[in-house]
Amino acid sequence: MIRADGRTLALVALVLAVAACLPLTGSAYWLSLGISIAMYTVLTTSWALFSGPTHYISLATAAFFGVGSYTTGIGIEYLPYWALPPIAGVLGAVMAALVGLATLRLSGVYFVIFTLGLAELVRQVIIWFQNISGQKGIYVLTKITEAQIFWQLLGLAALVYAAGWAIGRSRLGFALRIIGDDEEVARHSGINTARAKVALFMVSGAAAAVVGAVLAPRFVYIEPSTAFTPMLSFQVVIMALLGGTGRLWGPLVGVIPFTFLWEAISASFPNQTTLLLGVSFLVIVYLLPRGFVGLIEGTRRRMRAREAFA
Amino acid sequence: MDILITGLFLGGTYALIAMGLNLQYGIARIMNLANGEMIVVGGFSAFWLYSSAQVSPLLTVFLVAPVAFLLNWLIYWIMLRPLVKRAKSRGQLEVDAILATFGLAFVSVGIMLAVFGGDYFSYSYLARPIRLLGDTYALNRATAFLAAVLICAAIYLWLNYSRPGMSIRAIAVSPESARLVGIDVPKLAALTFALGGAVTATGGALISMFFTLDASTGVIFTLKALVIVIMGGVGDVRGTIVAALLLGVLETFVAAVIDPGLTLAAAYLLFIVILLFRPQGLFGRRGT
């Protein structure tokens, strides 16, 4: 077990090191694609940390992301940049805790509905605020380069994987797997189910907020309709489920092909991205209920079974 | 007074939409997140028939309802029945249904965008003022409200005083026991789902008389309908009507007094209060 873990660790470090060399190629196109992939990797993996074991579909990613972007946007005038992502993380965690406390005691449907409208709710409140104060958008002018954003995201991805690995072997991770299997059983064996769910949802919310804060300098100009785009929440759900949420590396398997597909579709048919989202949802439900990971593991098991018979 | 009546008019139309969702979720056990798109389809048909052939939206309803009924019946048998069959638990069915109907919603928005473009559509029908209790109101809102009241009353009576209505209520209480007393659950669930879709599309045709819609407004209506259904209690017709009227009044109040951009925030405020204090709905009983 320990040897296998060591090998995985070495493999992950190698992949990260190779990925970190991407800005050295000097190609702006590959770098921007790399940023997208790194961003979605962090978002989907942290999403799956919570939604994978519990089966609660969270559609709040855009809300956390937007709050993070606004933290950088507003805070950059008063504080040095390096202080902002941690602050965004704390804000995201607090917000997740509030949402979780209100909805996670109840059944999953309430949670889905609540998170579905959360981004829109925050957006309406910010627009209202701006109408009162007479301000429109915010300029974020920094000297941060694309390469620096990419490295920050990679670091964040490493952090999320480490957190996922640690949670997976902690009492909390064990408790969540039991909750996912049968919440009734979990409650009877003395697990405080609401607290476990809220704790993990906070991790996922904080990660999304930090990503928003890190990416804000890239947007240059922030306004509510771009910071809180609801598409983001759906993209994250699709990529994570497409990859498969049963394994820590599962979402990554969905992120890479979907990012390429998304880029291709939005470049040549910009109006058809909604249709693509819809079709992806249907494909996941009807053809790939366990994602690519399920497909890969199913094939592997069948091959092994065949070897055993031969 | 002005706000109260305008709010009630709006709430009456919301009640119709939420009633459609409640039939689908409370009885067929499908959380239909494509509900808002059915509204847009209904509204679009009314718009199209009115602007091309001057057909009154009140007549369009009689065409929209059967078509939507058939469409939703097919959706249930083709898309949702396999999910019901494969689900091992209520929770799994919920997740699958949510994802599948999300897919359906996005596909229909995508198709509508591709065919009709992203423009807003609205027409002017019965946009005359009428006087009520000393204030003036738009006639189209009052008409929509009356139509909604008639339809809601008809459904309420049908559910409470007819034999199929009773079977449907039995399914809402317990699908397993309903099967034991000889009720064909899959058939009735499909019919209720279709009926819910028809009611929603009718609501869409009515709401288009005074609301500007576009291909992607559906999700806002879905959210409002969901808030109403949960507030009123799942499977509870009476609660849905009260909750819808409440939401209509609150929204009109917020739009008039604070800011028109905050209507969804108002709906959410109500939702949070309900979740914290009465998660079983206004008239629901705890611990079933």
Average pLDDT for A44-68: 90
Q: How far is A15 from chain B (nearest CA, A)?
A: 33
Q: Nearest by CB to B96, from A128, A272, A285: name it.
A: A285
Kindly tell me the burial class for residue A299, based on how many C-beta atoms sit within 10 Å of its own C-beta (0-12, 13-18, 19 or more). Answer: exposed
By the CB < 8 Å criterion, does B129 face chain A?
Answer: no
Gap between the Cα atoms of A281 and A302, Å rounded: 27
- Does B276 reside within a domain? no
Q: Do the chains contact at B31 and A55, CB–CB below 8 Å?
A: no
- Does B244 reside within a domain? no
pLDDT at A64: 94
Distances (CA, A) of A240 to A42, A235, A244, B275: 11, 8, 6, 28
Kindly tell me the burial class for residue B192, based on how many C-beta atoms sit within 10 Å of its own C-beta (0-12, 13-18, 19 or more). Answer: buried
Residues 6+ apart with CB under 8 A from B137: B5, B6, B9, B129, B130, B131
Q: Which residues of A touch B99 (CB under 8 A)?
A: 57, 241, 281, 284-285
- Does B256 reside within a domain? no
Closest residue in chain A to residue B94, using alpha carbons only: A109
Give CA angle at B94 (B239, A198), nearest 5°.
Answer: 90
| pLDDT per residue as tens digits for the range A81-102 | 888 889 999 999 999 999 888 8
Q: Nearest by CB to B230, from A110, A125, A278: name it.
A: A110
Q: Do the chains contact at A281 and B103, CB–CB below 8 Å?
A: yes
Q: Scanning the structure block, which residue is given the tokens 């992607």?
A: B216
Q: How far is B233 from chain A (nearest CA, A)?
A: 12
Tell me the CB-side half-sphere exposure of residue A76, using CA atoms within 13 A. Answer: 21
Give the start-to-end residue ranges of the domains of chain A.
Answer: 31-229
Q: Which residues of B touch A281 (CB under 8 A)?
A: 99-100, 102-103, 106
Cα dihedral sign, A64-A68-A73-A78: positive
Q: Scanning the structure block, which residue is given the tokens 């949402």?
A: A99
Q: Nearest by CB to B102, from A124, A271, A281: name it.
A: A281
What's chain A's average pLDDT? 85
Gap between the Cα atoms of B257 and B254, Å rounded: 5
Confidence bin at A227 (pLDDT 50/70/90)? confident
Query: B7 lies in which domain range?
Result: 2-219
pLDDT at residue B286 above 60?
no
Residues 6+ apart with CB under 8 A from B90: B29
- Largest interatomic CA distance in chain A: 75
Gap between the Cα atoms of B102 and B282, Å rounded: 27
Cβ–Cβ under 8 Å, residues B241 and B190: no
DSSP for A59-92 reads: --HHHHHHHHHHHHHHHTTTS-GGGHHHHHHHHH
- Of residues A229, A231, A228, A255, the one with CA closest to residue A241: A255
Closest residue in chain A to residue B271, using alpha carbons only: A114
CB atoms within 10 A of CB A40: 26
| pLDDT per residue as tens digits for the range A240-299 | 988 888 788 888 888 888 888 888 888 888 778 888 888 888 888 888 888 888 888 888
Q: Which residues of B touch A272 (CB under 8 A)?
A: 110, 113-114
Q: Do the chains contact at B279 and A125, CB–CB below 8 Å?
A: no
**Helix (H) / strand (E) containing B132:** strand B129-132
| pLDDT per residue as tens digits for the range B4-34 | 888 888 888 899 889 999 888 888 888 888 8
Distances (CA, A) of B238 to B110, B203, B221, B258: 35, 17, 20, 30
Pairs of residues, one from chain A and one from chain B, whose beta carbons lie less than 8 Å apart: 118
Q: Which of A54-63, A299-308, B98-107, B218-227 has the lowest mean pLDDT?
A: A299-308
Instruction: Kindly state the tokens that stand for A270.
Output: 């910009």
Q: Nearest by CB to A110, from B109, B111, B275: name it.
A: B275
Kindly tell me the burial class for residue A306, based on how many C-beta atoms sit within 10 Å of its own C-beta (0-12, 13-18, 19 or more). Answer: exposed
Closest residue in chain A to residue B106, using alpha carbons only: A278
Gap between the Cα atoms of A307 and A310, Å rounded: 5
Top-confidence range, A14-28, A274-288, B65-79, B81-95: B65-79
| pLDDT per residue as tens digits for the range B174-229 | 878 888 888 888 888 899 999 999 999 999 888 888 888 887 788 888 888 988 98
Gap between the Cα atoms of B106 and A115, Å rounded: 18
Strand partners, A139: A221
pLDDT at B288: 40
Instruction: Kindly state the tokens that stand for A40.
Output: 């979605």
pLDDT at residue A154 above 80?
yes
Kindly tell me the burial class for residue A152, based on how many C-beta atoms sit within 10 Å of its own C-beta (0-12, 13-18, 19 or more). Answer: buried
Q: How far is B216 from chain A (nearest CA, A)?
A: 10
Q: B115 or A92: which carries more pLDDT confidence?
A: A92
Write down the ipTM of this complex: 0.83
Residues 6+ apart with CB under 8 A from A73: A138, A140, A216, A222, A227
Q: How far is B46 from chain A (nearest CA, A)?
A: 24
Q: Which residues of A touch B109 (CB under 8 A)?
A: 274-275, 278
Cβ–Cβ under 8 Å, residues B242 and B232: yes
What's chain B's average pLDDT? 84
pLDDT at residue B265 above 90?
no
Best mutation target, A286, A287, A288, to test chain B (most B CBs within 10 A): A286
Q: Which residues of B touch A276 (CB under 8 A)?
A: 110
Residue type, B94: E
Q: How far is A26 from chain B (nearest CA, A)?
A: 37
How many domains, chain B? Answer: 1
Strand partners, A221: A139
pLDDT at B134: 67
Cβ–Cβ under 8 Å, residues B19 and B192: no
Residues 6+ apart with CB under 8 A from A106: B275, B279
- Does B128 reside within a domain? yes
- Does B174 reside within a domain? yes
pLDDT at residue A1 above 60?
no
Q: Do the chains contact at A102 and B110, CB–CB below 8 Å?
A: no
pLDDT at B287: 45
pLDDT at residue A132 above 90?
no
Interface list for B 257-286 with A (CB within 8 A): 258-259, 261-262, 264-265, 267-268, 271-272, 275-276, 279
